[in-house]
Amino acid sequence: MKVTAEKNEKVANMIFGSIYPLYLNRLEKNGRTKAELNQVIEWLTGFDEAEIQKFIDEKASFRTFFQRAKMHPNTHLIKGVVCGYRIEEIEDEFELYKQCRQMEKLIDELAKGRKMEKILREEKK
């Protein structure tokens, strides 16, 4: 599927704090923890637990969340399909949408029981 400017804008304006509990609920149903969710988000964005909570409390949008993020240098290793979109094929002009899908991919892998070492990607030596 192709990302549109409207879809990108819709995701950009979503409130991170309204989606975070949905991520957490899904993970807890699958036997994962809030600490693991935060570990994945921290790896991806550089935000620790206190910073994540601050975004929730501020009712920050995904736009604000990802603008302030220091994305991990290995995000290019996150590949696959999320919600019908192949991550590596999302155009550069929709970077925020791509970042959101990358985070969802990591959370999906966590929910499916993948080992943390595999989720937190490292370059092959």
Q: Flag whether 94 is in a domain.
A: yes
Give me the number of domains the chain comprises.
1
Q: Flag whether 123 is in a domain.
A: no
DSSP H or E run through 82:
strand 81-82
CATH number of the structural domain spanning residue 94 = 1.10.8.290
The verdict on pTM exceeding 0.85 is yes
Q: Flag whether 51 is in a domain.
A: yes
Q: Flag whether 125 is in a domain.
A: no
Q: Flag whether 119 is in a domain.
A: no
Rounded CA-CA distance 66/72 in Å is 12
How confident is the model over 45-100, as pLDDT tens digits?
A: 999 999 999 999 999 999 999 999 999 999 999 999 998 899 999 998 999 999 99
Residue range of the domain that includes 97: 5-113
